[in-house]
Structure 1
């Protein structure tokens, strides 16, 4: 009996299982299909955020679709970007995203609520949420968007010597969202790097020791991250060292000649100034080229008369009265006496004292003197 009982209950258990599966399928309702949870894109590119859904026959209410973005502040409410309701699309309310966001499908009610965002910016990064509602069903789908900055055009240059036997370093620098890796390659027929070269993919350097002329050529650096890549090319020429000793000697000689010329100019200027200063300090001298003529020797008579005139010229007429008679006598004797230097000549006439007065002669008086020599 136990065996028969087991056989009777087996079909009933299988039927119950089939009925349970059938009922569960009918009650699935609104469902959002799987989509990428994280999307990475480069700035200035475009991206599509997926949100595909499936409706159930039990969902009889109006269809509402809403896209929102989580704010920087976790405590704040969601920021609505774009929505669909009552068979109508309502554009974004964000000024920063106007004209850059729209539904991928012209009719989202067909099961595709995905959106496209164009001309991406780093500020567009964040967590986006797709909400699909059709009563009695309601489903949410989240997608994280990361807008990365692709590497800028690198700057390549040679840091170090270009001479044979010396060490040199090639450097490559770029800006963008880290991490950025750098790859160095050599252009031309021989694309392999020199045997002594060591590349650093993080710092972007290529160090070469004991360089030879075989190291000369063009080297390309590629900078890349998860969303893009950029490259640059630099020329590295290795040559033998030039004759630096001759250049240094020539430079020293040139400097010395220049200093000598400057010193000579300064000396000439100082000497000229000193000469002008000396000429200003010297007084003018009056030179007597021809001696003056010798004066004639006057006679005793003229000397006596002139001396008497010079001695008594300042005497007043009142003082001269006592000496008038003496003057007449002396003048008469002087005229009657022949000159000493002409003993053989005798005057042909005599002039009396009254006549001399009429002729304008000036009487000369010899004043009387005391014994002490003072004039009375």
Structure 2
């Protein structure tokens, strides 16, 4: 009975030992690697048959499940995924060493890897391991909040955008003297350093280092503690610069607008010394217009007769004879057309025949009376038929007894008739 029991125990040990020899050996169940580096996943087994007929398969399980690499029928197969061109067997296949390598590891490579060996007409053996891809901290960014004045408070902050595992932060003062800080002034988890009751001696360069098990990086900031007066000067200088810039912009706008207005005024200005037109266009005949004598002197103005209402009252306007010095223009006349009434009849200096009377020299009178105008027989003036017909105001009747002194008392004003040069401009 005892012999049978011992025999069974020996057989059990042999069976267990045979089973162990067919297991995939993986020396390390967990591995770590820094992002971008190469990692080797070690694995092997002890075959009892021809290894060239065995099939080896590596499989990944993480955020998603996907094949990595395989060996079957004497050929190596690669999967079409993100492992392509980054993975391979460490030794030439077929071999009992079925380790693989992964180049340029990525954070997405973190997960569990399974290795299986399929033996024809036998049991399949397998093994597994986990891989953790760590990421160094990104370059941190240093900032400062608060007013860096004497007896003031500031907070220095340091933060990295990513890192695996989560980085820790440590502030130190590098210049002019080295100095380290501890809690509660420094929070290594959040990367803050609070400086209270500032003094001039606290000015200097402060360095923050972000680090984890994958690596580290740093940033720095310069702290300059100033007095309140200096702060006022800086603020005033900043404000003055802003005001000066705004004033300069407004001045430029004013100059541009003024220049534009000046150009418009010059373009619209009429030059005073411009030459008068050589020819004067006149209105059509029978409509009444001004005429100019041959020598260019302004002549008399006549108006064609207008139809009058018989019932309308007839106004008589006083007229004062002008002296020889006042009459600076030559008075011409024209010949009436057949059937046309003499519109100049009744005016001083004209007779009933339609021709002007030549003026004679005045003879002085006694008692301070104004000199009387002597008229001479009418002298014919060459008739001018070219151009428009002259126009005169309605006939005026002048009482003979009205004198210049009387007209002066009535408020009459002597009018000078301007002459016209041959070019057509008034002189």
User: If the TM-score is normalised by the length of the shorter chain, which range does it land in?
Assistant: 0.5 to 0.7
CA deviation map 1:16-55 (0-9, x unaligned): 4234323432344511124444434332121222322233
Deviation at 1:250, TM superposition (A): 8.1
- Name the TM-score, length of structure 1 as normaliser: 0.58
Deviation at 1:253, TM superposition (A): 9.2
CA distance in 1: counterparts of 2:207 and 2:158, whole angstroms? 9
Which one has the bigger helix percentage? 1
Pair 1:211-2:195 in alignment: no
Gaps of 5+ in 1: 1-8, 281-290, 314-376
Deviation at 1:242, TM superposition (A): 3.4
CA distance in 2: counterparts of 1:252 and 1:233, whole angstroms? 29
CA distance in 1: counterparts of 2:160 and 2:6, whole angstroms? 67
Aligned 1:93-172 pairs, distance under 5 A: 93-94=79-80, 96-107=82-93, 109=95, 111-135=96-120, 136-172=122-158
Evaluate the alpha carbon distance shift between residue 38 and residue 25 of structure 1 in structure 2; reply closer, same or farther with a 3 A threshold.
closer
CA distance in 1: counterparts of 2:99 and 2:149, whole angstroms? 61
| Residues 362 and 374, structure 2, Cα contact 8 Å, conserved in 1 | no
- 2:363 aligns with 298
| Residues 35 and 50, structure 1, Cα contact 8 Å, conserved in 2 | yes
Deviation at 1:70, TM superposition (A): 3.8
Deviation at 1:82, TM superposition (A): 1.7
Evaluate the alpha carbon distance shift between residue 172 and residue 245 of structure 1 in structure 2; reply closer, same or farther with a 3 A threshold.
closer
| Residues 196 and 208, structure 1, Cα contact 8 Å, conserved in 2 | no
- 1:68 aligns with 59
Aligned 1:47-66 pairs, distance under 5 A: 47-55=39-47, 57=48, 62-66=53-57
CA distance in 2: counterparts of 1:180 and 1:126, whole angstroms? 21
The alignment partner of 1:54 has SS state of coil
- 2:72 aligns with 85
CA deviation map 1:173-193 (0-9, x unaligned): 212245232122233654322
CA distance in 1: counterparts of 2:207 and 2:237, whole angstroms? 40
Superposed CA RMSD? 4.6
CA distance in 2: counterparts of 1:207 and 1:304, whole angstroms? 118
Deviation at 1:167, TM superposition (A): 0.7
- 1:325 aligns with none
- Name the TM-score, length of structure 2 as normaliser: 0.52
Gaps of 5+ in 2: 270-323, 328-359, 366-370, 381-427
CA distance in 1: counterparts of 2:373 and 2:209, whole angstroms? 132
Deviation at 1:246, TM superposition (A): 6.1
| Residues 157 and 170, structure 1, Cα contact 8 Å, conserved in 2 | yes
Q: Count matched residues.
A: 275
CA deviation map 1:57-90 (0-9, x unaligned): 378882221112348566xxx43x222234x442
Deviation at 1:146, TM superposition (A): 3.8
Evaluate the alpha carbon distance shift between residue 246 and residue 148 of structure 1 in structure 2; reply closer, same or farther with a 3 A threshold.
closer
Deviation at 1:209, TM superposition (A): 0.9
- 1:235 aligns with 222
Evaluate the alpha carbon distance shift between residue 229 and residue 52 of structure 1 in structure 2; reply closer, same or farther with a 3 A threshold.
farther
Evaluate the alpha carbon distance shift between residue 183 and residue 121 of structure 1 in structure 2; reply closer, same or farther with a 3 A threshold.
same
